Structure 1
């Protein structure tokens, strides 16, 4: 039986080796989502705007949530909220799909030459497309309401790239587990909802009582949500010591997920 390399180098080499296939698959996936609709890709702009309006009304008008800045501005609340939602939506779109990636592509499992390990990356690229569209909407809103964005925006890739490594590690692990344990997809749907409300997306971390605040920081979404807000809205430079540790941790998680996927993929055909 064929052995599949699980080295950290192979994790990146495989994506580079199959870059043309990855690009074509991601493009087909993005276009396929809106195929047949009258507005087509414009829906990728309208969806984040609509959800932003709903969340802003519910949390800033109904629940009267604020960001502890002494301001009652709903535009400030909306932009800070939206920055957190960009992070969460990127995470949730990939993680919710991950358990079904192999199950929905059974025909590829039988093809020895098809690189199954690229499927989570294709899903990530599709999610990144929507995240970039949401970011453009955010930047336009900030430009209109407040002026030129902070120069710290340039640090955004340093925050998002390790987050993508974290997503890839989880996606590889969940894609494999989803083949052997069909209940994983149900569990992950509940878990992502829990993580959303236990992240400082709709409220600042300081809104929690101090006794419970440490639980919030056990949530893997919390640090990246706060770092993205810092560089986008608050104009703060990220703490490079913490960012360096974040890179190391997410790189290790990505490799663990990849290694698990490569070691277990030999059993996919038997189960399916």
Structure 2
């Protein structure tokens, strides 16, 4: 098969055929991050808990943010906040690293046999490892304070999968752009910071004035954050129309990002 083919079939088959390489590389990346630290991989549990504690105190105690009228429960606030934060962290970890993926792996560019297109997938697998730990902490906390989570939590994979396609599409596009435009990584860092506060992570969408709410809903993170909270905490099924549209749009973005990467990768070795 042509290594530079940009068809949807090529996108799927290259990920499937290289699944073992991706798994091994992601495992090495996760373990390498904690190599030499005293508590090792336990940091993957501790980091999200520390950030959760800080954000909960700042927003629920200092700014008096609440998720519902009359709700004073800080535990509820923490769990709803944590669900949104997990989603954002997956996005931020992958997107912030995407522009430097090819630049930091120049040795792979020179190897014709190495599938460069799997580099964003390796980063995504690493991010998903940490997300799975965070979700485990979330379910444990919910079980301790509120009992067994709603049955709608079973729909979480159907909400997360299109989000992962969206991240892959952006990562492919940014990984390519990062080779030709070195300022991309700086720009993306600013954009992800803005998106964090322009997403309904620390506050409900309903808290914004209606005339400004449209700005929140053009944010691509808003649908997945709200659907995740609906199925995990509020016990609501996502709208089939919204979820179906999200699947179609994110699949298209994934393919367009892959196609852009495949069309531009021929010039990587010349630039690097």
- Range class of TM-score, shorter chain: over 0.9
Alignment of 1:1-272 (within 5 A): 4-272=4-272
The 2-side partners of 1:194 and 1:102 are apart by 25
* Alpha-carbon distance, 1:240 to partner: 1.1
* Alpha-carbon distance, 1:3 to partner: 5.8
Report the 3-state secondary structure (helix = DSSP H, G, I; strand = E; otherwise coil) of the residue aligned with 2:33.
helix
Deviations 1:181-235 (A, max 9, x none): 0000000000000000000000000111111000100000000000000000000
Q: TM-score, normalised by structure 2?
A: 0.99
Answer with 235-244 or 180-189: which moved more. Answer: 235-244
> Please, what is the CA RMSD of the aligned residues?
0.8
* Alpha-carbon distance, 1:20 to partner: 1.4
The 2-side partners of 1:69 and 1:137 are apart by 27
Answer with 61-70 or 258-267: which moved more. Answer: 61-70
* Alpha-carbon distance, 1:266 to partner: 0.3
**Aligned positions, number:** 271
The 2-side partners of 1:233 and 1:6 are apart by 39
The 2-side partners of 1:69 and 1:235 are apart by 18
The 1-side partners of 2:230 and 2:17 are apart by 36
The 2-side partners of 1:55 and 1:6 are apart by 42
Moved over 4 A (4+): none
The 1-side partners of 2:31 and 2:231 are apart by 31
Structure 1 gaps, min length 5: none
The 2-side partners of 1:241 and 1:23 are apart by 34
The 2-side partners of 1:97 and 1:126 are apart by 12
The 1-side partners of 2:23 and 2:66 are apart by 41
